[in-house]
């Protein structure tokens, strides 16, 4: 599944809506009703899907939030990655795709020999 990026128009509208302040209050997973108040600027602005693109292919302004680097990283690491991984596992299971478990080295005859044994 390919990632769909926001259009320039959507990012401009999100920037205008944010007034240069982090919109973490729009992201329910972060649980910040007041927001962090961080100013957005060059190198500190990330346009993030509120609901991950892998789950719901929605590139509208309603699914876009302009976040500071701190809030973006927190959302990505604590929410997006686990949800996307679970979605991929469920999708693979439905398609009959299975990962073969790796056997430990000892069971293959490569047992480590210690000089004191």
Residue range 80-111, pLDDT digits in tens: 999 989 989 999 999 999 877 877 666 555 55
Under 8 Å between Cβ of 23 and 17: yes
Task: Tell me what the mean pLDDT of segment 48-76 comes to.
Answer: 91
- CA torsion sign, 72 to 76 to 77 to 79? positive
pLDDT at 102: 77
Whole-number pLDDT of residue 111? 58
Mean pLDDT of the chain: 87
Residue 116 has pLDDT above 70, yes or no: no
How distant, in Å, are the alpha carbons of 10, 33, 77, 95, 97 from that of 50? 14, 15, 14, 27, 29
| Alpha carbon distances (Å) from 30 to 52, 77, 94 | 14, 11, 31
Whether the pLDDT of residue 117 is over 70: the answer is no
Q: Are 38 and 68 in contact (CB under 8 A)?
A: yes
DSSP secondary structure letter of residue 24: G
User: Is 67 within 8 Å of 44 (Cβ atoms)?
Assistant: no
Model confidence at 10, in pLDDT bands (50, 70, 90)? very high
């Amino acid at each position: 599944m390919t990632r769909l990026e926001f259009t320039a128009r959507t990012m401009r509208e999100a920037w205008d809506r944010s007034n240069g302040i982090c919109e973490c209050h729009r992201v329910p997973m972060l649980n910040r009703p007041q927001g962090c108040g961080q100013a957005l600027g060059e190198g500190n602005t990330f346009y993030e899907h509120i609901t991950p693109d892998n789950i719901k292919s929605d590139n509208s302004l309603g699914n876009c939030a302009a976040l500071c680097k701190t809030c973006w990283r927190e959302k990505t690491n604590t929410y997006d990655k686990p949800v996307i991984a679970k979605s991929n596992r469920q999708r693979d299971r439905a398609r009959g795709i299975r990962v073969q478990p790796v056997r430990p080295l000892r069971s293959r005859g490569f047992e480590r020999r210690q000089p004191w044994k």
